[in-house]
Chains A and B, each alone.
Chain A
Amino acid sequence: QKEVEQNSGPLSVPEGAIASLNCTYSDRVSQSFFWYRQYSGKSPELIMSIYSNGDKEDGRFTAQLNKASQYVSLLIRDSQPSDSATYLCAVNRHAGTALIFGKGTTLSVSS
């Protein structure tokens, strides 16, 4: 089992819809969780971090964490064509270890 798993997609949503991206992780003791956005040919850009169970909202983005189910998700409300990118889930076992990334989910928002 891979440490961090994401559905590679593509996930296609119409403009204005909610995009839901999911990620599962295998190490139960993981403490920190991150979502990065990566445009084609560019480096990853941090968009959300979450450390506690529940929801965390930042603008149109909401991260959700369920440690019991080892599941983290990202919701993008009012999706825009500019949100079309690959979204990478990353997990940190604890502060002294490196981030481990999933393969990413490609999101396509059509206008």
Chain B
Amino acid sequence: DTGVSQDPRHKITKRGQNVTFRCDPISEHNRLYWYRQTLGQGPEFLTYFQNEAQLEKSRLLSDRFSAERPKGSFSTLEIQRTEQGDSAMYLCASSFSGSLSTEAFFGQGTRLTVV
């Protein structure tokens, strides 16, 4: 396990469809974060987990978005009834808690295009 893995890398979907993305964190990392990034912007925080507990959710995360991390391992992010405004890069990052260092490492991202 050399890093954070995201699947799929690219997703094209029609407006109104549901999509689900998966993230596998670095194996010893207990924290997992989801971010969304659009062109010319920095990553915008969506939500984060410590183990299986979802500890924080951004106001950006509408009711159409849901994230899970069963058993504190991989995580999924689902977007229901996609809209064109959901087109973005969805980034997952993981880190290890328990020390001052909270360095987070990103996966390659999932690029979503809603047509």
A-side residues, CB < 8 A to B, are 4, 6, 8, 31-32, 34, 36, 42-46, 49, 51, 88, 92, 95-104
Contact = CB atoms under 8 A, between A and B. Distances in A.
B106 interface: yes
B42 A97 contact: no
Interface stretch (B64-72, B77-85, B94-102): B94-102
Given A88-B43, A99-B33, A100-B45, A45 B102 contact: no
Given A43-B91, A88-B42, A103-B40, A95 B102 contact: yes
Of the four ranges (under 10, 10 to 19, 20 to 34, 35 or more), the interface on chain B belongs to: 20 to 34
B109 interface: yes
Interface of B: 33, 35, 40-45, 48, 50, 55-56, 89, 91, 93, 97, 100-109
B62 to A, nearest CB: 18
Given A88-B42, A99-B33, A103-B42, A51 B100 contact: yes
B42 A99 contact: no
Contact of B104 (A6, A8, A99, A103): A99
Contact of A46 (B41, B43, B50, B105): B105
Nearest to B43: A101
22 contacts: A4-B42, A31-B100, A32-B101, A32-B102, A42-B108, A43-B91, A43-B106, A43-B109, A44-B91, A46-B104, A46-B106, A49-B101, A88-B43, A95-B100, A96-B55, A96-B97, A98-B45, A101-B35, A101-B42, A101-B43, A102-B42, A104-B41
A63 to B, nearest CB: 13
